[in-house]
Structure 1
Amino acid sequence: MKARGPHFLGIGAQKAGTTWLHNMLSQNNAIWLPPIKELHYFDEIEADPNPKKPSPHARRAAKKAILRHIRHAGKELHVPYIHYLSKLGTMPKSNQWYYEAFNWPLSEGKLCGELTPAYCSLSLDSIRTMRAELGLIKLIFLMRDPVSRAKSQMRMWIERQKRSTMDLSDWDHFLEYPTLLARSNYQHTIQSYEAVFGPENILYLAYGEISSDPYALLARVEKFLEVPAAEYPTAKERVHASHMQVEFPDIVEQKLSEILAPQYEFLRKKFPDRILSNM
């Protein structure tokens, strides 16, 4: 019998509302998501097909999930659940590890999925590997204005590194960072995934609708995934709001616009105004 795996994936984009979408889908009783958000399976095996050690990301995420369970459970600790999380944090990543993430009783009979924004920058070969491994599943791609998305990613780096000042050489270093460009390359993401999964199996959503009309966005997700409508009491709550004010020099804004100009041209040709005006 084939191991249980995901019926759908959220493939990005980073800094485009995937955490919000994960939180919303977790409130729909017809859907089950692993307790570790962002499994990072296909991107990590792309970098290292045969890892010998557990993933640092999985180890940290499993530890956080265990501590969260202990904090909320009080005296009602669920030992099998802690064991399940421990396995995810201590096993090297493999297809066995990936299917183990969905091997939890509460997932039985539900639509399973996971959201990992890093999947948006997978190579075409890795996307083909994903299709061979999972079959013809459904995909969700949240898109944000390319320059705004890139600036949000840079702001996150600055905040994590606790930088108080940035000179132009620091900005240039960020602009040359591979993941900044790869995760802003919507053309590669869209063309590669459509070539492998077909456009009819991909739902494109605009980041701006999370704030302007979150319930309409969620209704489109429910229709696409063919699940019953649910109530989402926290749909209008903001997540990952940055507390750091970062001033981007004009030259950095100009360079970003120049670098990402081909993305805007591609998006204008690909999508209707409703999506473009809400990105």
Structure 2
Amino acid sequence: MAHARIDFIVVGAQKAGTTALHDFLSEDPAYAVSGIKEVHFFDDETMNWDAPDYAPYHAHFDWRPGAIRGEATPIYLYWPRSLERISVYNPVIKLIVMLRDPVERAWSHWRMETVRGVETRPFSWCIREGRTRLFKAAPWGVHREFSYVERGFYGEQMARLLDLFPREQVLVLKAEDLRTAPSAALTRVAAFLGNHHVRRVEPREVHVGRDVGTRLAAGDVAFLREIYADDAARLMDLTGILFE
């Protein structure tokens, strides 16, 4: 197993249905997904990436013969150098990207951090003045919790991904498709990963966010749509997906 590599990774985006996909795949015996969702290996800045030890990573997986091995850590799409590290680890790995309307994603992300007690400021402030907090972070300009706006620049992230991996190794899904028609979405995943025994599943809700006593304001939606406009066009050119 010294040179074995896992077969696929769900690399993003956060709050875009990656937990639901991980759960669905965990229930299918054709797959051997990591025992925990979000292994957080390729975004680990404490690793010696000049000579990485993959043994702790591989310990998360069942190495039974014939299984399709993979994991889901949605920060990989956003976190600097994660995709580059994955390309070194396995240049022929298959990557699944799940995308959700970036405005809805940002709102859901903020709600999650608010419920967790990490975020104490209102959404309107966070997507405007609050973005300067990322300039005080390390690595500079990125943040695990406060990146409400930044994680939604899918066009930029997909361009970086496709510079590292050929298009045939990448599957892009919309969160809405998995939520409303999971069997069809999982059929696409199965075909992409080489699983010929697709099981029918019913729609389900996973990790529905708690109410935080406030609603997404129209002014905030308009503000974010303008911020995302150029990137949304780039995403459309790269994937054919448009959120509006």
Q: Answer whether TM exceeds 0.5 for this pair.
A: yes
Question: What is the CA distance between 1:138 and its match in structure 2?
Answer: 0.6
Contact 1:17 1:210 (C-alpha < 8 Å) held by counterparts: yes
Report the TM-score, using the length of structure 2 for normalisation. 0.82
AA aligned opposite 2:205: R
171 and 191 in structure 1: CA distance in 2 versus 1, 3 angstrom threshold = closer
AA aligned opposite 2:78: S
Alpha-carbon distance in structure 1 between the residues aligned to 2:176 and 2:123: 31
AA aligned opposite 1:112: R
Report the TM-score, using the length of structure 1 for normalisation. 0.73
157 and 271 in structure 1: CA distance in 2 versus 1, 3 angstrom threshold = same
174 and 151 in structure 1: CA distance in 2 versus 1, 3 angstrom threshold = farther
Contact 2:109 2:148 (C-alpha < 8 Å) held by counterparts: yes
Is the partner of 1:37 in helix, strand or coil? coil
Spell out, residue by residue over 1:84-105, the C-alpha distance to the aligned partner (whole angstroms, 9 max, x if none): xxxxxxxxx9422112222x45
Matched, 1:247 2:215: yes
232 and 265 in structure 1: CA distance in 2 versus 1, 3 angstrom threshold = same
Is the partner of 1:140 in helix, strand or coil? strand
Contact 2:159 2:238 (C-alpha < 8 Å) held by counterparts: no
187 and 162 in structure 1: CA distance in 2 versus 1, 3 angstrom threshold = closer
Is the partner of 2:191 in helix, strand or coil? helix
From 176, 183, 192, the equivalent of 2:151 is 183
Q: Which has the larger radius of gyration?
A: 1
Matched, 1:237 2:204: yes
Alpha-carbon distance in structure 2 between the residues aligned to 1:200 and 1:167: 38
163 and 11 in structure 1: CA distance in 2 versus 1, 3 angstrom threshold = closer
AA aligned opposite 1:49: M
Moved over 3 A (4+): 162-178
264 and 163 in structure 1: CA distance in 2 versus 1, 3 angstrom threshold = closer
From 163, 167, 172, the equivalent of 1:195 is 163
From 78, 85, 108, the equivalent of 2:65 is 108
Alignment of 1:43-62 (within 5 A): 43-44=43-44, 47-50=45-48
> How many matched pairs?
229
Partner residue in 2 for 1:37: 37
Larger deviation, residues 178-187 vs 212-221: 178-187
Partner residue in 1 for 2:99: 143
Is the partner of 1:40 in helix, strand or coil? coil
Matched, 1:28 2:28: yes
Contact 1:146 1:263 (C-alpha < 8 Å) held by counterparts: no
Flag structure 2 segments of 5+ consecutive residues without an equivalent: 135-141
Larger deviation, residues 158-167 vs 23-32: 158-167
Question: What is the CA distance between 1:135 and its match in structure 2?
Answer: 2.9
Alpha-carbon distance in structure 2 between the residues aligned to 1:39 and 1:262: 32
| CA RMSD, 1 decimal | 2.7
Alignment of 1:123-272 (within 5 A): 123=80, 125-161=81-117, 166=122, 169=125, 172-176=128-132, 177=134, 178=142, 179-233=147-201, 235-244=202-211, 245-272=213-240
Larger deviation, residues 188-197 vs 254-263: 254-263
Higher helix share: 1
Alpha-carbon distance in structure 1 between the residues aligned to 2:39 and 2:53: 12
147 and 171 in structure 1: CA distance in 2 versus 1, 3 angstrom threshold = closer
Quote the sequence identity (%): 29
Contact 2:110 2:123 (C-alpha < 8 Å) held by counterparts: no
Alpha-carbon distance in structure 2 between the residues aligned to 1:186 and 1:162: 24
Spell out, residue by residue over 1:203-262, the C-alpha distance to the aligned partner (whole angstroms, 9 max, x if none): 0111111233221111110100010233254x4110011221432334432332222222
AA aligned opposite 2:72: L
